[in-house]
Amino acid sequence: MDRIDTLSWREFDADDLPALTGLAEACLAADGGLPLFAQPPLLRARLLQTRTLAAWHGDSLVAAVGVGVPERPDTTTDATARPATATGIVHPDWRGRGLGSRLLSWASEQAGDADLVVTTESWSPGADRLFTAHGLHETFAESVLRHDLTALPAVALPDGLRTEPVTPQVGPELFATYHASFADRPGFAAPTAEEWLGDLADDDEYRPDLSLLARDPDGQPVGFVNVIGVWIDQVGVVPAWRKRRVGAYLVAAALRSLAADGARDAWLCVNDDNPAGALYRRLGFADAGRRARYLLRRH
């Protein structure tokens, strides 16, 4: 077994992105989680932060952490000071030797007296034990679900419902449906229509042709599904139309469209406290890991 004292430690940067990708892929293969983590945009956002530290065994990257340190507030009494952020990963073959604890302790030191938010895109029970032992507590967790598109669910169109693809003309109605569908959820922070629709328009993988807006017999919008790439990004149903299979139909329709478009699988994430998780699993989605966020509070 290779010894920990054979490792070399140094900062890393964008030139190390191929090695970081390989490390992320190894963690996802072992733990499951968000597959987007191994792709450059999210990998850069999570690991290529203002301060970095990595452990190498020869030419092999075995552990890495990135820490985003906020600027100091103008006054020491500023209650709105942002927390530091961190994400770290350890190769499965090198776990159980204290590397995770070293990365987390280093991240905590870099944060100084700021609160520290730690994000993991490939959650594991071992990571949870490590974070808990260091005084962090979980503030967010969601399951990553995958659907094999060779087996598609059959859901009948609810009585009185009709659907249409999303077009620029229905943008305001789409946003209004989103707002009405989520406004009663605890902690809902409403964006403006401009922000929400702008984010969709700016996403190169947004599929308005596969996304759907559902209308009642009077033509009023009552539900929607947004598709980004092969991801069911958001599904919403207004309160008056819940428990009528609207959400199930919209998801099933999106899965059929993705399959017809040539996709082999579809993905979505669902918060652990969201009852829709049971619906997605009934529709054939299978658990493919978890992602989570933890907080070390210092104030």
pLDDT on residue 73: 56
Q: Which of the four pLDDT bands, split at 50, 70 and 90, describes residue 79?
A: very low
Radius of gyration of the chain (CA): 22
With a cut of 90, say whether residue 295 has pLDDT above it: yes
Sign of the Cα pseudo-torsion (125, 130, 134, 139, in order): negative
Q: What's the half-sphere exposure (Cβ side, CA atoms, 13 Å) at 198?
A: 5
Domains and CATH numbers, the chain: 4-141+292-296 (3.40.630.30), 151-263 (3.40.630.30)
Strand order in the sheet with 84-90: 8-10, 51-57, 60-68, 84-90, 116-120, 286-296, 137-148, 265-271, 231-237, 221-228, 212-215, 162-165
pLDDT above 80 (res 299) = no
Q: Going along 42-176, which residue ranges are E strands? A: 51-57, 60-68, 84-90, 116-120, 137-148, 162-165
**How high is the mean pLDDT of the chain?**
94
pLDDT above 80: residue 1: no
| Element spanning 28, H or E | helix 17-31
Name which of 51-60, 71-80, 263-272 the model is least confident about. Answer: 71-80
Of 44-58, 65-79, 143-157, 215-229, minimum mean pLDDT range: 65-79
pLDDT of residue 81: 75
What angle separates helix 193-202 from helix 171-182, to the nearest 10 degrees?
110
Hey, what are 293's tokens?
A: 């966020």
pTM above 0.75, yes or no: yes
* Contacts with 25 (C-beta within 8 Å, 6 or more apart), sequence order: 38
- Cα atoms in the Cβ-side hemisphere of radius 13 Å centred on 171: 12
